A and B are shown apart, each in its own frame.
Chain A
Amino acid sequence: MSFTQTSGARTPRRSPGCLASTALIMRRTLLHMRNNGFGLVVEAVLSPIIMLLIFTFLFSGAIAGSVSGYIQYLLPGILVLTVVPMTVYSGTTLCTDIARGVYHRFRTMPFWQPAALFGPVIADGLRYSAALLTVLSMGLALGFRPEDGVAGAVLAAIYVLFFAYSVSWVFALIGNVAKQPETVSGTSMMLVYPLLFASNVLVDTSTMPRWLQVVVDVNPISVAVALTRGLFHGTADAADLAAGMGVCLLLVVVFAPLTIFVYLKRQLR
């Protein structure tokens, strides 16, 4: 360790603003993904494929009679079913991270502090996108044929991504408040699984008793899935669009500022 003073002749420094800070922290999350490529493949490729296969072949016989018929209905829902639990994982990671040393250093550094939250939240979109693409291509291979063609598929995929981002703020908040990562996954899964299954992901609500139909239809997951389905098959109307976008905006408007506030406040303990 022959210590030399760092040599001069550098461009003068300015504390990074919000865009530069966010980009730098995003890069960190992307490097994590690169350094742990295997984990990414398992999470974004293997497990979504397994989920899709299980649901397609398990339920198609019982519910719709044929694979090619049922998958037209099922696939949009499976996209949501795949991505939402991934957002829980983002919250868990955030919780582990904040308790760790790097975030201590971040807090004593002169950059735009909310970037420490925006960075991972935004960069995780890459994981969601990878999973979306996997499920979509696998679905096409199994006979999924969106009626609205490529344009509809692109819009639907973008919407699912947007929905995932919106939901991820909920778990970012839980990740910020919880003391243990286990608490995050515990409480979040308790919240997420009932919502996912008491929805229209797997079955059409019109077959349900009236009261259950009402409950399932106001479930935000159902709202999002209804819009996704509508976009794929060209059947979305203005009401679907308003409800689907409304759910996302509501989640972002409530949970994003709250999360940032809690994070910034945390250092005042």
Chain B
Amino acid sequence: MAYAIEAQGLRKSFKTREAVRGVDLAIQQGELFALLGPNGAGKTTTIHMLTTLLHPDEGTASICGYDVVKDAAVVRRNISVTGQYAALDESLTGWQNLTLFAGLHGYSRKDARALAVELLESFNLAEAGDRTVGTYSGGMRRRLDLAAGILSEPKVMFLDEPTTGLDPQSRRELWDAVRHLVKNGTTVLLTTQYLEEADQLADRIGFIAQGRVIAVDTPEKLKASIGGKTLTIKLAEGTDPANVCRLLTSEFGMEAHSDEGGLIVKAAVREAALAHSVIGTLIDQTAAVDDFALSEPTLDDVYFALAINRGNEVAS
């Protein structure tokens, strides 16, 4: 059976900037695949090529076996796209938007109306249905956008940062909606900046950086690939975390990074005993450790480990 989404050597440049530099993907039908990567990594550009919006400069891609360039019309019948920026008509009401899109997807007028009512209800927009979308909040737009994406019951669904700007409650509900889709056999490719989201939802995760896919695996395997555990150190006020990171690298050959306001330093450690001597050394040398903890690695750790590796590779 053909892959739901397949890409080989996709490349795309804008003028001289190489946005995508050789992306390969093979996503099974019914799979939920998350594409992760820093800003400007090429996620949106990749999705634009897979959804017939942009033609690749090089390489090929297919959806359910249909080429995105040669069989664009067939591809469009099988996909739906919910872009990073809501693709709605601001001057129409929510209800008018949904009936328009339903009509263009080939539903009869009667079905289109019924479907619009049903979807507004499901997405908690029933009351706002008669207001123009221009008056909606960001979260309401996202939800309407998703409703418009679901309406055609697509085989393959592309969601580019679907939960950006949603409150925690709406985010959970959207996760449920996406899980529901996948349970019914839809293939989903989503991008997100929330690593927890990918961890919760995805069957497999692809990390993309500087236009290339640098790692693909299940969340569990990715976390296991870090090896060992994550040591989180909270530094006392007035300590320079960059110094601590340098020290960890020079003394123990560890990859360490600091985040969130700077006083937290994280490092991957292979075994608990090593953590012990790390803390000992730090206290001896700087006496600046407020608190520390050992934990299983999270996707955040994978993200930073990969980004650091990448940085080394580029530098050398």
Nearest to B80 among chain A residues (CB) is: A108
Instruction: Give a binary string over A113-144; 1 marks a CB under 8 Å from any B CB, 0 the rest.
Output: 00000000000000000000000000000000
Contact of B53 among A20, A36, A107, A110 (CB under 8 A): A107
Q: Is A246 an interface residue when CB atoms closer than 8 A count as contact?
A: no
Q: Is A162 an interface residue when CB atoms closer than 8 A count as contact?
A: no
With an 8 Å Cβ cutoff, the count of chain A residues facing the other chain is 37
In the bound assembly, the distance between CA atoms of A16 and B106 in angstroms comes to 5
In the bound assembly, the distance between CA atoms of A102 and B83 in angstroms comes to 11
Q: Is B170 an interface residue when CB atoms closer than 8 A count as contact?
A: yes
A107-B89 in contact given A1-B143, A13-B106, A15-B106 (Cβ < 8 Å): no
**Total number of residue pairs linking A and B with CB closer than 8 Å:** 118
Which of chain B's residues have a CB closer than 8 A to the CB of A31?
Answer: 91-92, 96
In the bound assembly, the distance between CA atoms of A192 and B100 in angstroms comes to 34
B132 to chain A, nearest CB (A): 6
B274 to chain A, nearest CB (A): 46
Interface contact A104-B87, CB-CB below 8 Å: yes
Which of chain B's residues have a CB closer than 8 A to the CB of A10?
Answer: 107-108, 111, 115
Nearest to B81 among chain A residues (CB) is: A108
Contact of B81 among A4, A14, A32, A105 (CB under 8 A): A105
In the bound assembly, the distance between CA atoms of A28 and B101 in angstroms comes to 10
Instruction: Give a binary string over A14-37; 1 marks a CB under 8 Å from any B CB, 0 the rest.
Output: 111000110011011001100110
Which of chain B's residues have a CB closer than 8 A to the CB of A267?
Answer: 52-55
In the bound assembly, the distance between CA atoms of A31 and B99 in angstroms comes to 12
Contact of A1 among B53, B92, B106, B174 (CB under 8 A): B174
A155 to chain B, nearest CB (A): 35
In the bound assembly, the distance between CA atoms of A36 and B96 in angstroms comes to 14
Q: Is A2 an interface residue when CB atoms closer than 8 A count as contact?
A: yes
With an 8 Å Cβ cutoff, the count of chain B residues facing the other chain is 50
Interface contact A1-B177, CB-CB below 8 Å: yes
Nearest to A27 among chain B residues (CB) is: B100
Q: Is B303 an interface residue when CB atoms closer than 8 A count as contact?
A: no
In the bound assembly, the distance between CA atoms of A107 and B75 in angstroms comes to 12
In the bound assembly, the distance between CA atoms of A110 and B227 in angstroms comes to 47
Contact of A3 among B54, B100, B104, B173 (CB under 8 A): B173
Q: Is B73 an interface residue when CB atoms closer than 8 A count as contact?
A: yes
Which of chain A's residues have a CB closer than 8 A to the CB of B118?
Answer: 4, 6-7
Which of chain A's residues have a CB closer than 8 A to the CB of B106?
Answer: 13-16, 110-111
In the bound assembly, the distance between CA atoms of A11 and B177 in angstroms comes to 25
Q: Is B265 an interface residue when CB atoms closer than 8 A count as contact?
A: no
B97 to chain A, nearest CB (A): 8
A interface secondary structure, majority: loop
Q: Is A59 an interface residue when CB atoms closer than 8 A count as contact?
A: no
Q: Is B3 an interface residue when CB atoms closer than 8 A count as contact?
A: no
B246 to chain A, nearest CB (A): 45
Interface contact B91-A6, CB-CB below 8 Å: no
Which A residues between 70 and 117 are near B, CB-CB below 8 angstroms? 100-102, 104-111
Nearest to B90 among chain A residues (CB) is: A100
Instruction: Give a binary string over A211-225; 1 marks a CB under 8 Å from any B CB, 0 the rest.
Output: 000000000000000
Contact of A108 among B51, B123, B151 (CB under 8 A): B51
Interface contact A108-B52, CB-CB below 8 Å: yes
Q: Is B176 an interface residue when CB atoms closer than 8 A count as contact?
A: yes
Interface contact A11-B111, CB-CB below 8 Å: yes
Q: Is A269 an interface residue when CB atoms closer than 8 A count as contact?
A: yes
A110-B173 in contact given A27-B100, A105-B87 (Cβ < 8 Å): no
A14 to chain B, nearest CB (A): 5
A218 to chain B, nearest CB (A): 40
Q: Is A239 an interface residue when CB atoms closer than 8 A count as contact?
A: no
Which of chain A's residues have a CB closer than 8 A to the CB of B122?
Answer: 1-4
Q: Is A238 an interface residue when CB atoms closer than 8 A count as contact?
A: no
Nearest to B124 among chain A residues (CB) is: A1
A109-B107 in contact given A3-B122, A4-B122 (Cβ < 8 Å): no
Which B residues between 59 and 96 are near A, CB-CB below 8 angstroms? 73, 76-77, 79-81, 83, 85-93, 96
Nearest to B77 among chain A residues (CB) is: A110
In the bound assembly, the distance between CA atoms of A20 and B107 in angstroms comes to 11
B251 to chain A, nearest CB (A): 51
Q: Is A62 an interface residue when CB atoms closer than 8 A count as contact?
A: no
Which of chain B's residues have a CB closer than 8 A to the CB of A190?
Answer: none
A sample of 14 more A-B contacts (CB under 8 A), given A3-B173, A24-B103, A102-B87, is: A3-B176, A6-B119, A7-B118, A15-B73, A15-B106, A25-B104, A28-B92, A35-B93, A35-B132, A36-B91, A101-B85, A104-B87, A109-B104, A110-B104
Interface pairs A-B: 10 shortest CB-CB: A13-B106, A105-B87, A101-B87, A1-B173, A3-B177, A110-B77, A110-B76, A1-B124, A102-B89, A10-B111
Chain A interface residues (CB < 8 Å from chain B): 1-7, 10-11, 13-16, 20-21, 24-25, 27-28, 31-32, 35-36, 100-102, 104-111, 267-269
